[in-house]
Each structure stands twice: as C-alpha cells, then as structure tokens.
C-alpha cells in the first residue's frame, strides 16, 4: 500500500514539475449545478428571476423571486432552498401569492417575506414554518389595507416597513403613511410618527446607528430630500446629509453600499445636480460615489461607467433608459468593486452586464472579457428588465450572482451562478519555473520558496479549493521558508500574487 502511495505521489510531482497555473479570475464554478429549472410564473417561455439570495452557515441558500415549480408548473411560494451544490430541497417552501419584486430579509432565526399586498410574514429559516403568532399580532394591530414593499430589521429586532399604508386601526385620524415601524413581536408601534411624502423603496445599512432610505419621495418629515435620506435608528433625520439627486425625472436608486470610510456607492439609473455649477446634469447616470455629507465624490469615475449599446450616455429630459443601469455593487475580497446590472459597455469596453473596477471605479480591462450575461441584453419583460439583480460573497472567497439571465460566457445557466475567486487557479499551465520555485516536494514541516523580490500575498489552498492560509510576505533575498507543520497530508496549491493582477502557483504535497 505504501509503495502504491509513493508511486502516485511521484506521478503527480512529475506532472507538476516546472509548471505553474494561470489564474482565471471569476471563472464559473461548475461544482454549483442547480437542478431547479427556473421559469417565470407569468411568462412561461421566459427565464424566471431571482431577486434576493442569502447564504446560510452550512452553505445552503434561500432564494426568492418569480418562478414556478419545474415539475408541475404551479407556484411554490417564491421562497426556495438550495444546498451548497445547488440541489433543490422539495421539503422547504412557503405559500404566497405571485408578485413582482418579491423580497426576503434574513435575521436568524427568521426570514421575513415581503411579496406584496397584505402578505408580509415571517418563517423559520430552517423549517420554513410560518410564525402564526407574529402574524396575528401584526394583523390585529397594524392596518386594514397596506401594500408593503420592503422592510429593514433594526438591531434590537424591531422593523421598519415601507409601502402604501392607507389606514391604521390605532390612529383616530386615519392617517396615510409610506413608512412605519413594527415591534419585534409583530405589534405596530403607534408612537412612531416619521414619514416621507411618497413611498420608500429600499433600506440600506449605513452604520450601527444610521440607515439609508431610497425611493420616490422628495421630503422626509417635511425636509426637502430627493430620492435618498439618511436617518437614525429611531427614525430621526440625519441633517448632516443632503441629496444631490433630482426628483422630477423618472429613475430609481436601486442599491446603496456604505464603505468603511463613510462614503457611499449609489447605483441605479438617475439624474443629479451638476457637481460644478449646481445645474441639472441631464444625462442618466448609473453609478456614483458620495462623500459622507452627500456631495458627489470627484475622485470617483462617476461619469464614464455603465453605458448603452452605442457607448454613450442617454436619458436626458424625462426618459429612463432601460438599456443600461447598475443594479448592484459589491466590494471584493481583494479590494475591488464587482459591478452588475444591465449594460452593454463599461467605460467604453464591452462587458455584458458584469464588470470589475478598482475602488475608484476605473475598469480592470483584464477581467470579464467574454460574452458575460449576454442574454440580458436587448430584452425587457413587463416587470423587470433582464440583468444581474443581486451579488453576495460566498464561502471560500467565491461569489453568487443572481438575477434574470440564461447564459454566462456562452454557457447556458440558471439565473444564479457561483463564481470562483478573483485569484482562482485555472487548468491552463505554462512553463515559467523561474517565477516560483518550491522545494522539497513532497514536504513535511516546511517548504522553501524562491520568488521575485517585492511585497506579495501568499495563499494556500487544499485540493478541494478550500482556503487554508493567507500571508503577506516580503522576501529580502528572493527566498522564504514557510511553516507547513499544521497542514494535513495531501495535495495543496501555493499561490502568490505578484501584482498587476498576475498570479503564479505551484502544487505541492504534504507527506507525513
């Protein structure tokens, strides 16, 4: 048995000797293979869409959107569970009416489900069992009629909800509201009296004490505030923030990402006041960065990012151009921006609805050079334009991308895919032994590395692609001794980032 093991190891070493793997940034993770066929409930010949996705601690997913059961073409409640490999769990699900724009919001142990008219409720995230007591409290004290479109979970378990609430049972003046608060037990908070003049569409976390609201409103508590406002957790307006967005044009702020330095990335399709002369900037914009006080950040690429097919900005006057918009933005593990939506070009380069930029919004021209989500382009259905709606980080530095599409780089896919890490090791190999030398191989408690001088990032992955070590290194004389005593026997990949988005890697074996 030992001789067989040695022969296998020697074969692997001879195969690997003198070669490195070339990185394939954000390649498709083919180990994620959904067996659920998503089809739109209203348009049976069209792909269904996924609006929200959450990854649980065990790697399983909770998805919501607009789709139907692939086996009998009936509505399954728009909330489903897939395991980490994409396999559908037929025992998980919840009833519900079919609506567009369904949302889910996760706060362990509950998933709050917001499909629309009078159907706002919560279920257990493991069993999908509906919390009927919470339902009773909410319906007994909340409203006679309401269209709830979104919700935000405050740190203490209370919720903000938005929509069109036309009559409150506990208010003698029968006031209208677009913004309300529900206590954690489901009972409506009658002491909450903040409001906007038109509906709130989205809530986003700014920091531990403040929340960002976006929507079609032009005032919050009577204070002029076009489309976006920042409030404290008690609902009080944060007056240190102001809006630069115009109100009277058709458009929408879809996503806001608060950064560690207090700045905010805002994406969608909108118009703003010109940064220089405060006159209206009439061209439709898709992604901008705001300073903490709401001013436009002039160091960001605000005016030359997502573009339509002809590569120019459109959307002047009251036109909302559906041929390009940014619908989500995500900060990656390597301090870049992953941008998704519906656009042909980005900064003058074809990108097929997905792009990677640096933190100032300037395109990485080496990534996503293929067809991208080409099925998103040139198609608009009644409720949503095709595109990428949601991107979230996944385990092992991977990323889930969801929305309404059917192809990625020419491959037929369901409307959720998992991308490998930015510095993923591909299968293509070339001979560049001088860039990275590694010995002994097999190794036991240490390995010697010879690499170019400079500051580098070293990562170790096992044969399954699971990340086991990250270390910032700066060898003084091209050599480094790396402790491997903590590694279990098996095959590993040593990967080193050399800068300029270049990676080299070598495989090695731990034998004890």
The pLDDT confidence band at residue 293, using thresholds 50, 70 and 90, is: very high
Is residue 16 one of the residues assigned to a domain? Answer: yes
Q: Concatenate the DSSP letters of all residues of 329-392 into one string.
A: EEE-TTS-EEEEEE-SEETTEE-TTEEEE-TTS-B-TTSS-S--SGGGTT-B-SS-BSEEEEEE
Decide which of 188 and 256 is more confident.
256
Across-strand partners of 438?
A: 449
Can you give the pLDDT at residue 67?
66
The tokens for 336 are 């870049």
Residue 368 pLDDT > 60: yes
The tokens for 404 are 């309404």
For the segment 409-435, the average pLDDT, to the nearest whole number, is 69
Q: Please tell me the total count of domains within the chain.
A: 1
Q: Domain range holding 500?
A: 2-23+435-510
Can you give the pLDDT at residue 46?
53
Can you give the pLDDT at residue 232?
96
Cα–Cα distance measured from residue 20 to residue 373, given in angstroms and rounded to the nearest whole number: 30
CB neighbour burial string for 190-219, b if at least 16 within 10 angstroms, e if fewer: eebebbbeebbbbbbebeeebbbbbbbbbe
For the segment 247-263, the average pLDDT, to the nearest whole number, is 84
The pLDDT confidence band at residue 340, using thresholds 50, 70 and 90, is: very high
Can you give the pLDDT at residue 307?
81
Distances 226 to 113, 149, 211, 249, 270 between C-alpha atoms, Å: 28, 19, 16, 11, 11
Can you give the pLDDT at residue 327?
92
Q: Tokens 């086991």 appear where?
A: 468
Decide which of 478 and 353 is more confident.
353
Is residue 9 one of the residues assigned to a domain? Answer: yes
For the segment 126-130, the average pLDDT, to the nearest whole number, is 82
Cα–Cα distance measured from residue 282 to residue 234, given in angstroms and rounded to the nearest whole number: 36
Can you give the pLDDT at residue 117?
46
For the segment 384-412, the average pLDDT, to the nearest whole number, is 86
Is residue 266 one of the residues assigned to a domain? Answer: no
Residue 509 pLDDT > 70: yes
Is residue 478 one of the residues assigned to a domain? Answer: yes
Is residue 483 one of the residues assigned to a domain? Answer: yes
Residue 331 pLDDT > 70: yes
Is residue 122 one of the residues assigned to a domain? Answer: no
The pLDDT confidence band at residue 99, using thresholds 50, 70 and 90, is: very low
Q: Tokens 């903040």 appear where?
A: 194
Cα–Cα distance measured from residue 364 to residue 285, given in angstroms and rounded to the nearest whole number: 20
Model pTM score: 0.74
Q: What is the CATH classification number for the domain harbouring 472?
A: 2.60.40.3080
Residue 295 pLDDT > 90: yes
Can you give the pLDDT at residue 502?
62
Q: Name the average pLDDT for the chain.
A: 76
Is residue 451 one of the residues assigned to a domain? Answer: yes
Q: Concatenate the DSSP letters of all residues of 278-311 into one string.
A: -SEEEEEEEEEEE-TTS-B-TTS--SSSEE-TTS
The pLDDT confidence band at residue 12, using thresholds 50, 70 and 90, is: very low
How much of the chain exceeds pLDDT 70, in percent? 70
Decide which of 242 and 8 is more confident.
242
Decide which of 37 and 290 is more confident.
290
Can you give the pLDDT at residue 237?
97
Is residue 398 one of the residues assigned to a domain? Answer: no
The pLDDT confidence band at residue 120, using thresholds 50, 70 and 90, is: confident
The pLDDT confidence band at residue 422, using thresholds 50, 70 and 90, is: confident
Give the range with max mean pLDDT: 37-46, 83-92, 351-360, 402-411.
351-360
Cα–Cα distance measured from residue 437 to residue 168, given in angstroms and rounded to the nearest whole number: 71
Residue 22 pLDDT > 80: no
């Amino acid at each position: 048995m030992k001789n067989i093991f040695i022969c296998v190891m020697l074969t692997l070493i001879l195969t690997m000797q003198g070669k490195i793997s070339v990185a394939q940034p954000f390649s498709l993770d083919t180990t994620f293979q959904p067996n659920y066929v998503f089809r739109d409930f209203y348009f049976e010949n069209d792909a269904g869409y996924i609006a929200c996705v959450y990854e649980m601690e065990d790697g399983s997913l909770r998805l919501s959107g607009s789709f139907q059961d692939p086996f009998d073409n009936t509505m399954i409640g728009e909330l489903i569970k897939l395991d980490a490999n994409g396999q559908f769990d037929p025992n998980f699900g919840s009833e519900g009416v079919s609506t567009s724009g369904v949302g889910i919001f996760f706060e362990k142990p509950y998933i709050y489900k917001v499909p629309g008219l009078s159907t706002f409720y919560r279920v257990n995230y493991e069993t999908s069992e509906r919390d009927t007591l919470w339902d009773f409290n909410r319906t007994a004290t909340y409203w006679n009629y309401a269209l709830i479109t979104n919700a935000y979970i405050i740190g203490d378990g209370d919720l903000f909800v938005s929509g069109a609430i036309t009559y409150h049972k506990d208010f003698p003046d029968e006031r209208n509201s677009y913004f309300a608060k529900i206590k954690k037990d489901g009972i409506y908070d009658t002491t909450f009296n903040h409001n906007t003049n038109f509906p709130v569409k989205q809530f986003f976390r700014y920091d531990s004490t403040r929340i960002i609201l976006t929507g079609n409103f032009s005032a919050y508590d009577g204070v002029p505030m076009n489309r976006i406002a920042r409030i404290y957790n008690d609902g009080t307006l944060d007056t240190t923030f102001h809006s630069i967005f115009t109100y009277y044009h058709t458009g929408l702020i879809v996503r806001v990402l608060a950064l560690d330095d207090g700045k905010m990335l805002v994406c969608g399709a909108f118009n703003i006041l010109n940064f220089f002369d405060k006159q209206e900037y009439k061209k439709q914009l898709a992604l901008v960065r705001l300073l903490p006080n709401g001013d436009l950040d002039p160091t960001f690429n605000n005016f030359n990012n997502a573009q339509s097919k002809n590569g120019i900005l459109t959307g002047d006057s009251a036109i909302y151009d559906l041929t390009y918009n940014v619908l989500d933005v995500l900060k990656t593990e390597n301090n870049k921006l992953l941008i998704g939506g519906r656009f042909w070009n980005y900064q003058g380069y074809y990108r097929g609805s997905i792009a990677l930029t640096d933190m100032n919004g300037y395109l990485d021209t080496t990534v996503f050079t293929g067809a991208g989500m080409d099925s998103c382009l040139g198609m608009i259905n009644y409720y949503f334009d095709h595109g990428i709606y949601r991107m979230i980080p996944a385990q092992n530095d991977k990323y889930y991308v969801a929305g309404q599409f059917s192809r990625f780089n020419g491959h037929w896919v369901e409307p959720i895919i998992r991308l490998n890490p930015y510095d993923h090791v591909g299968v293509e190999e070339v001979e560049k032994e001088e860039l990275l030398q590694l010995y002994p191989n097999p190794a036991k408690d240490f390995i010697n590395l010879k690499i170019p001088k400079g500051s580098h990032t070293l990562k170790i992955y096992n044969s399954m692609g699971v990340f086991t070590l990250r270390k910032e290194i700066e060898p003084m004389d091209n050599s480094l001794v790396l402790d491997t005593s903590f590694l279990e026997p098996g095959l590993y990949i040593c990967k080193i980032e050399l800068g300029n988005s270049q990676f080299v890697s070598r495989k090695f074996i731990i034998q004890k």
